[in-house]
Structure 1
Amino acid sequence: MHAEPMGKSRRQCRTVAETMYANDASQVICVVTPEQAGEAVRGEAVCALQSELRRMSAQLLTIQENERRRIATDLHDGLGQSLTLIRLALENLTELLAENSFREADESMQHLKTKVQEAFGELRRVAMDLRPSTLDDLGILATLSWFFREFESACRGIKIEKHLLVQENHIPVPLKITIFRILQEAVSNIVKHAHADHIRVSLIEADGALHLTIEDNGHGFDQVGRSRFQSIEKGLGLMSMKERANHSGGTYRIESAVGQGTRIYVSWSCS
């Protein structure tokens, strides 16, 4: 079918016709105009978008619940146990003082001081994990240096190669926590799933953009089949990094192959 709009130019319009049958077996021709077809396509796109938003909302709730569970476990297993030991030490100290066992009481006091210091250390670790105070006091570069030291102390079998080639005042303040969280999640994923012994982290400013790259020499994974075979925990970690990057105005890309490690690349425009 051809349509002749106003003016000399001509354009070809396509209609869709479908043959249907009524109850009496008579044929009914249903003609769908291009406008109707376009509306149908747009309707399907809206439905797909709504479905994707519902899926992402459900995944976000899962991430939040997992994070709350992790914090609760940290408080119970770490700080909770330290406080229990302090309570027991105080009860023992009270009994020793009541018995005038001053020498034993002095030893108990020293033991109590050690436990209090351990509790403060555990509390500081949990607080730093939630939001490092150095991020506000000293900046992202000092925070990353602290993170690398803590990680290498805890995971001696994994070496981190660092390249921080950017000036502190060139990184927007809201972006600093995003960079830290993406790095934190990426390294956590590597420890849990990659079985790597070398991690390379670079944060550089080049070509009017800020570039964060995290790569490892671990097992890697099949990107084509990852949605089917990867663990839920790993999938949520990857999605969390992608969402943080997108929400902060950045671009996110991941490259991986079985036996060839994984590379996560995030960039933000400096303009």
Structure 2
Amino acid sequence: MQAPPPAARQLRLRDLVDAMRKLGIAARLDETRLDNVTDARGAALAILSAHGEFLSVNRSAAALLGYANGELVGRSLLDMAPEGERASLAGQLSVDPAHDFAPITTMLTLRNGRPTLLLLHRQPIASDEAQQKPPDGQAAQLMLFEEPLAADASLAPGVHLPKAAARDRLKYLMIGQQRERQRLAAELHDGLGQALTLIKLMVEDSRMRLRRGQAEDAAQKLDATVLQIRETIGEMRQICGELRPLALDRLGLAVALSTLCRRVERSAEGLAVNFRCDVDDRDVPDYLKADIFRLAQEALNNIVKHAAATEIRLTLQRIDTGLLLTVQDNGTGYDTRPLSPEDIGSMGLGLAGMQHRVESQGGFLSIHSSDAIGTLVSASWTL
């Protein structure tokens, strides 16, 4: 991933969390959002410079636009718009989002060349320290990408979607499911399909070498084939896990979280992970299980990568109003430090995406961190 310009290097996690909360509130207040869909794996988020260049992008946004994450960094959002739409998009981007939370309706050309209507919500990532402001006074922006589920695909940019009746909402939901199937099919075809084709060719090459008596060359080729198979299996598991962690259906939420803790503990030397669950699996709504698991997974991964902790406490419990998930570590606090270019994408957008998941379901996510006490991530849902 290319390094963001200096203005983006001073972003802090608390700035991203604050921007995500404001953006989420603005998006929920927009009535057209009821007829929109984001990637099934979570919010499609990116950080753009004040001039519209991608500084960082998460996997969902990249998949929505048809790219790999690193391929979008450094590109201009305006360059992705059809030529006839660029002036309109530039005009909408010039409006200060701090004073006008109206979403941007625009056409963007996906990697496959197909123009697609998208709804863009944006929020400046502000800082309370003057030395962190860019020279031109403009801040980087957090952007949420959504697809309008309009029955009329010719809906012009800037036109709000009409309020739908109950049967129309069902129709929109079916359209969203179909788009997700198409996107998943494309990802399987372009990723796993090409990988399996490569494996087939490598095996055939090895067989030909064996027939010619080139046993050593064939063995080397087969060794490379095994590595390719392992990578393909890992990619397949990643896709499946992002859509729905299999452990939830097989083991239930409590056992799945316990297994996750043990796996994290084994992967990091000198790290103890303590897990406590006071909730029966039947008391957790099915629609929340994947979000709770992914939030715990994201928090644990961030601790291992960034916190240098020796102890983690993961707790899921009932409270008077519903459910509470907490992840506490004794490492170095990270929400007050400037994020590195790599952290912006891996940790910053990861937690921002999970915050969107939690709060779009009516929950609340909070992060408290310091060098003295480590970091506490708390998520609560009202039932």
Pairwise TM-score range, normalised by the shorter structure: 0.5 to 0.7
Aligned length: 212
Q: CA deviation at 1:181?
A: 1.9
- Name the structure 2 match of 1:214: 327
What is the CA-CA distance between 1:141 and the residue it aligns to? 2.4
Specify every segment of 5 or more residues in structure 1 that has no aligned partner in the other structure, as ranges. 1-48
Partner deviation per Cα, 1:183-228 (whole Å, 9 max, x = no partner)? 122123223322212211011224352110101111114x6xx3x8
2:210: which partner in 1?
A: 96
1:198 partner amino acid: E
Which amino acid is 2:358 matched to?
A
- Which residue, 255, 262, 265 being the options, matches 1:142? 255
Say if 2:355 is the partner of 1:242: yes
Secondary structure at the residue paired with 2:58?
helix
Of 237, 241, 249, which aligns to 1:125?
Answer: 237
Q: SS in structure 1 opposite 2:326?
A: strand
The aligned counterpart of 1:67 is 59
SS in 2 for 1:148: helix
Contact 1:82 1:118 in 2 (8 A): no
- Paired with 1:235 and 1:113, the residues of 2 have a C-alpha distance of 36
Three-state SS of the structure 1 residue aligned to 2:325 is strand
TM-score (norm 1): 0.60
Q: Which amino acid aligns with 1:126?
A: Q
Give the whole-Å Cα distance in 2 for the aligned partners of 1:111 and 1:263.
45
Alpha carbons 1:220, 1:261 under 8 Å: kept: yes
Equivalences for 1:189-204 in 2 at 5 Å? Answer: 189-204=302-317
- CA deviations 1:152-208 (Å, max 9, x no partner) are 343334321111221111100000111012112212322332221221101122435
Alpha-carbon shift at residue 269 of structure 1 (Å): 2.7
Flag the structure with larger Rg. Answer: 1
- Relative to 1, partners in 2 of residues 1:89 and 1:108: Cα closer, same or farther, differing over 3 Å? farther
Which whole-Å CA distance do the structure 2 matches of 1:148 and 1:50 have between them? 32
Q: 1:143 to 1:90 in 2, by over 3 A?
A: farther
Query: 1:1-271 alignment to 2 at 5 Å?
Result: 53=26, 61-62=45-46, 65-68=57-60, 72=68, 87-97=201-211, 99=212, 101=213, 114-115=226-227, 118-119=230-231, 121-130=233-242, 131-207=244-320, 209-221=322-334, 226=336, 229-231=338-340, 232-233=344-345, 234-270=347-383
For structure 2, the residue ranges without an aligned partner over 5 or more in a row are 1-21, 31-42, 48-55, 71-186
Instruction: Output the amino acid matched with 2:206.
Output: N
1:263 Cα deviation from its structure 2 partner: 0.5
Quote the sequence identity (%).
31
Compute the displacement of 1:128 (Å). Answer: 4.4
> Aligned partners of 2:23, 2:291: CA distance in 1, in Å?
26
In structure 1, C-alpha distance between the alignment counterparts of 2:370 and 2:287, rounded to whole Å: 33
What's the secondary structure of 1:220's corresponding residue? Answer: coil
Residues 104, 61 of structure 1: alpha-carbon distance in 2 compared, 3 angstrom cutoff: closer
Amino acid at match of 1:179: I
Q: Which is further off, 64-73 or 126-135? A: 64-73
1:250, 1:52 → 2: CA distance?
A: 12
Higher relative contact order (CA 8 A, sep 6+): 2
Match for 1:67: what amino acid? R
Contact 1:93 1:108 in 2 (8 A): no
**Distance change (3 Å), C-alpha of 1:105 and 1:262:** closer
With over 3 angstroms needed to count, the CA separation of the structure-2 counterparts of 1:207 and 1:197, relative to structure 1, is same
Deviation at 1:236, TM superposition (A): 3.1
Distance (whole Å) between structure 2 residues aligned to residue 265 and residue 83 of structure 1: 45
Structure 1 counterpart of 2:202, one-letter code: L
- 2:256 and 2:68 map into 1 onto residues whose CA distance is 24
112-121 or 243-252: bigger deviation: 112-121
After TM superposition, the score normalised by the length of structure 2 is: 0.45
> Once the two structures are superposed, what CA deviation does each residue of 1:29-77 show, in whole Å capped at 9, x if it has no partner?
xxxxxxxxxxxxxxxxxxxx899848xx9x95307932155994799xx
Q: Which has the higher helix share?
A: 1
Which of 183-192 and 146-155 deviates more?
146-155
